Structure 1
Amino acid sequence: MAYVALLGGAAWAGTSVGAQEDRSAEADAASAVVDVAASPTPTPTPTIPTRAVPAAPAGASPVRTCSVADAAADPRLEQFQGRAVNAATGEVLFDRGGSTPSRTASVLKVLTTAAALNVLGPDYRLTTRVVRGAEPGTVVLVGGGDVTLSRTPSGTTTAYAGAAHLDELADQVTAAWNADPATAGSPITTVVLDSSYFSGDAWQPSWNRKELADGYMPPITALMVDGDRDSPASNVSARSDDPVGRAGSAFAAALGGATTVIGTAPVGAPVLGQVSSAPVSTLVKQTLIVSDNTIAEALARVTAIEAGAGSSFGSLQQGITAGLAAYGLDTSALRIVDGSGLSGGNAVPPSYLTSLFVQIENRAGNLGWLYDGLPISGEAGSLSYSDRFAGSSSRADGAVHAKTGWIDDGYTLAGTIDAADGTVLTFAIYALGDVGDDAKQAIDALAAAFWDCGANLSDY
């Protein structure tokens, strides 16, 4: 209650008149003297300030008692950062450096694919075209960023399900060439290779060149076949220094033999044939499920192009953040150097990931495609490998939908957890610094501890 005291002041007005009269008849000219007493100044009413009425007491928050302190203190996590959030309420249940931007490793692919699904949409396809060249006997193979295009015969299974094949493209070109009276019966002698859709460096300067021989990353060009793998069917396979040359040689052979040169297509040249990738919805899953660096970089570059940011590595910061803007989250702390997360120069706070994963869990916009492509603990993709969610951590099998990450100085995991009590948590765990391969087991143990606690997860 508020208590108000009101005091009324009284005012007095007093008038004293004294009249002196000369009552004699001779006093006609006598003067009358009037004495008027001065009125006193009224006393003002004092103002008493009104006390604020206290707000109704807030409802008591339940004391959360399930601690994961031991798992979070595992020395294998090295420089540990992490956050866990109740996806339904938005309450931060656990936080260790969650607002600090740090390198993400391949968890960055979540941002890349989320941006691509917004800018490109799930039905967008990357198209490779062949157009007529400016010189007689010449055609131009124009790369459109489809790194899944295969040099293997049509019907062959490669690392990329649903990939287009060069022999199909060659058949289209040959048919169109022979259907034109101006070229029918004449050979195709030269294939011009046009990879100008992407610009700038093909190799991000912060990447380690050993990734070529180790089989995880090729130079990123708009024209390549089979992700530039030596073995088209293998997820991990050595890559070359010249993806454009490898693609050109394979296409020339499919045409029956021709020389190849580097160049660009004439403006407005007639199209002789074209083939397209699987839709972005499929490419997103292929990117996430086995952490494919090559598709991630292609999606990042095409997203930046379609967002109007440019076509080089330097365009990705603007292009990816523009693609993420639709999700309504603050992107100012993000640093995007590449699309795959291979660079240690990328920086994303765990808090951004836990917020984005709330929207992924809710399938906002086109993000349902992303959720459906995530690895699942003990069941699918990179979380089903023998060294993930093994031993006691296997109690969370099937409950963790998350993206894995690994670079030389960091292991990461971020996604959602369907906890034992039915609560959905979003989480991000970073183990950074001088980490070993066993950091993966420490990360899984902490995620399994989050699963145990659910809504009762304590920050202590």
Structure 2
Amino acid sequence: MSDSQQPPSRRAARESTSGARARRGAAPAAPVADGTVADGSVAAGDEAASAGGIGGFVRRHPRAVLATSLSAAFVLLASGALLAGIAVGSADASPAPVVSETPTAEPDPRTLPATIAQPSLVRTCSILSLARSPELATIYGTVINAGTGEVLFDRRGDAAVRTASVLKVATAAAALSALGPDFRITTKVVAGSTPGTVVLVGAGDATLSRLPAGQESIYRGAPKLSDLAAQVVAAHVAANPDSPGITQLVLDATYWNPADAWHPTWNRDRIPAGFQAPATALMVDGDRADPRAQTSPRSDDPIARAGAAFAQALAAAGNPAGVPSVSRGSAVGGNVLGQVQSQPVSRLIGQMLPNSDNMLGEMLARITSKSLGLDGSGASLTQAITGALNSYGLDTSGLVIKDGSGLATDNGVPPRFMAQLFAVIQKGEQNLSIITDALPVAGQSGTLAGRFTGSSAVARGQVTAKTGFLRSAHTLSGIIRAADGTVLTFAFYAIRDGITDGARPALDALTAGAFRCGNNLSNN
């Protein structure tokens, strides 16, 4: 209702209030949304709410209250906190704030952070289906971007498991570190402690050859027993002109304990099959029955074979006593009557890796141990090989190394370590290019010459790697020059008792898959 329709008592009250304000000279206070005014009085028209309480007012005007509340909420949401700080018009308005002479600068919302996170690459190329091939049994594997060190693919990569002949790469790297690429193994003969006696002292040269001059063994350029015998006969005759000649030949294979020549997990049937012999410090032609054949039956006693061959060489060199009798012992000093040296370590690695020569692996590992002040035993090899590999800045903790060839089933070298070692090797520093140059190439050389066929042929010539084979493992580890130009290093082990040869093409397919993916290789 209008003011004229209000009861007299209410009009009088309003007039009294207005008059009082007029007398003070104050302007009427403006109401705000909740019905109060800036000076704390109640807005005109809401006296009934004041007199009867807010609850009474709400009961009498529910729609008005609802509309007012919604309007207030809308205004607050639309305007934000800014409107809440604005004072309504009033005669008693607060004084204007004092502005500082040096205003505080507000932060520029456009300022960029000091560093900007680089976008992460979403890789989409998967080899998981290839890794799940039933031919691979349980797969252990790691693939690394050699340039960045990023692990692109990993399945049980930290597990220290058997490597098979892939271990020969670690043996080669250790030998280069401990011995150096130019080191040569010396086999010598010294005068014995009794007249007519000479001592043949072995030092781990498995390449020493019994073939006559002009003929090459499987180890081209190997030193010859014939050369050594000629030196010894000439020196002995010169020193003992009235002597009947060399009557006694003593074989010294104590550079390491000759009884420590066969690891318990090696298979004895490898001896007649032509892959392996006991690892003695004295042998000839890797103890092959046929020095010209890579795979040739070996013997149970390489020392005896070497002694018999040298006794014959002495007779052929003109020993006045003919073929001397042969026994075993150790040198106790004496003048050096003759010596021959192996090819340098760099060349021995070049002969070991392409065809996975087990005897060279054993010799290099044992000699590495001796060079580091250890005893050359199989038990010393974990300390010897890891100690030498530490020079490449790799973490060798957890490695277990029982031999130099990788034939022991209780060797334990994680695939990730091998991939990291190859990442160092592919740089070619510290003479490690010797290893890269010696390794088989997919579809072209060594133990990989006949592999990477069918759909895997796409990676021929682009994978440089070492193969491995045991009755419980097939392995492959090396360097991939991927289709997109990325250099990858990898190690794949397929492990299961009774694993079949079907694992080889499956490993090739897995490696070729990584070649296709390159840096887009996903871990999923």
What TM-score comes out, normalization by structure 2 length? 0.76
* Structure 1 partner of 2:287: 228
1:213 paired to 2:272 = yes
Q: Give, in whole Å, the separation in 2 of the partners of 1:414 and 1:243.
A: 31
The answer to whether the 8 Å contact 1:77/1:432 transfers is yes
Give the helix-richer structure, 1 or 2: 2
Relative contact order, CA 8 A, sep 6+: which one is greater? 1
* Structure 2 partner of 1:161: 220
Q: Give, in whole Å, the separation in 2 of the partners of 1:338 and 1:306.
A: 16
* Structure 1 partner of 2:345: 280
1:261 alignment partner AA: S
C-alpha distance after superposition, 1:193-241 (max 9, x if no partner): 0000021411111111111111111011111000001111111111111
Q: Percent identity?
A: 52
1:143 paired to 2:202 = yes
* Structure 2 partner of 1:303: 368
The answer to whether the 8 Å contact 2:201/2:331 transfers is yes
Unaligned stretches of 5+ in structure 1?
Answer: 1-52
Question: In structure 2, the residue corresponding to 1:255 is in which secondary structure?
Answer: helix
Question: In structure 2, the residue corresponding to 1:150 is in which secondary structure?
Answer: coil
1:195 paired to 2:261 = no
Q: Give, in whole Å, the separation in 2 of the partners of 1:292 and 1:184.
A: 46
* Structure 2 partner of 1:440: 504
1:429 paired to 2:495 = no
Q: Give, in whole Å, the separation in 2 of the partners of 1:350 and 1:55.
A: 39
Q: Give, in whole Å, the separation in 2 of the partners of 1:95 and 1:105.
A: 20
* Structure 2 partner of 1:16: none
The answer to whether the 8 Å contact 1:177/1:184 transfers is no
C-alpha distance after superposition, 1:240-293 (max 9, x if no partner): 1111111111111111111100011122x1000000111000111111110000
The list of structure 1 runs, each at least 4 consecutive aligned residues, that deviate by more than 4 angstroms after superposition, is: none
C-alpha distance after superposition, 1:10-40 (max 9, x if no partner): xxxxxxxxxxxxxxxxxxxxxxxxxxxxxxx
Q: Give, in whole Å, the separation in 2 of the partners of 1:413 and 1:183.
A: 59
1:253 paired to 2:319 = no
RMSD: 1.2
What TM-score comes out, normalization by structure 1 length? 0.86
* Structure 1 partner of 2:121: 62
Question: In structure 1, the residue corresponding to 2:353 is in which secondary structure?
Answer: helix
The answer to whether the 8 Å contact 2:237/2:245 transfers is no
* Structure 2 partner of 1:453: 517
Q: Give, in whole Å, the separation in 2 of the partners of 1:449 and 1:313.
A: 38
* Structure 1 partner of 2:335: 270
Q: Give, in whole Å, the separation in 1 of the partners of 2:434 and 2:440.
A: 13
Of residues 323, 346, 350, the one that matches 2:388 is 323
Q: Give, in whole Å, the separation in 2 of the partners of 1:130 and 1:399.
A: 47
Deviation of the 1:394 alpha carbon: 1.2
Q: Give, in whole Å, the separation in 2 of the partners of 1:118 and 1:327.
A: 8
Q: Give, in whole Å, the separation in 2 of the partners of 1:430 and 1:366.
A: 27
Deviation of the 1:364 alpha carbon: 2.3
* Structure 1 partner of 2:15: none
Of residues 333, 354, 360, the one that matches 2:425 is 360
Of residues 391, 394, 404, the one that matches 2:467 is 404
Deviation of the 1:333 alpha carbon: 1.4
The answer to whether the 8 Å contact 1:377/1:389 transfers is yes
Q: Give, in whole Å, the separation in 1 of the partners of 2:461 and 2:390.
A: 31
Deviation of the 1:322 alpha carbon: 0.9
Deviation of the 1:309 alpha carbon: 2.1
Question: In structure 1, the residue corresponding to 2:474 is in which secondary structure?
Answer: strand
Choose 58-67 or 399-408, whichever is displaced more. 58-67
C-alpha distance after superposition, 1:380-431 (max 9, x if no partner): 10010x3x11122111111101100001100000000001111100000010
Deviation of the 1:183 alpha carbon: 4.0
2:422 alignment partner AA: F
Q: Give, in whole Å, the separation in 2 of the partners of 1:58 and 1:354.
A: 28
Q: Give, in whole Å, the separation in 1 of the partners of 2:251 and 2:491.
A: 43
Q: Give, in whole Å, the separation in 1 of the partners of 2:264 and 2:207.
A: 24
1:370 alignment partner AA: I
Q: Give, in whole Å, the separation in 1 of the partners of 2:510 and 2:242.
A: 67
* Structure 2 partner of 1:11: none
Q: Give, in whole Å, the separation in 1 of the partners of 2:345 and 2:179.
A: 8
The answer to whether the 8 Å contact 1:288/1:375 transfers is yes
Compare CA radii of gyration and give the structure with the larger one: 2
Unaligned stretches of 5+ in structure 2?
Answer: 1-111, 316-322
The answer to whether the 8 Å contact 2:350/2:438 transfers is yes
Choose 311-320 or 422-431, whichever is displaced more. 311-320
Q: Give, in whole Å, the separation in 2 of the partners of 1:160 and 1:67.
A: 43
Of residues 439, 459, 462, the one that matches 1:374 is 439
The answer to whether the 8 Å contact 1:220/1:298 transfers is yes
C-alpha distance after superposition, 1:130-189 (max 9, x if no partner): 000111111100001101001111221211111111001000111111222x34553111
* Structure 2 partner of 1:314: 379
Q: How many residues align?
A: 404
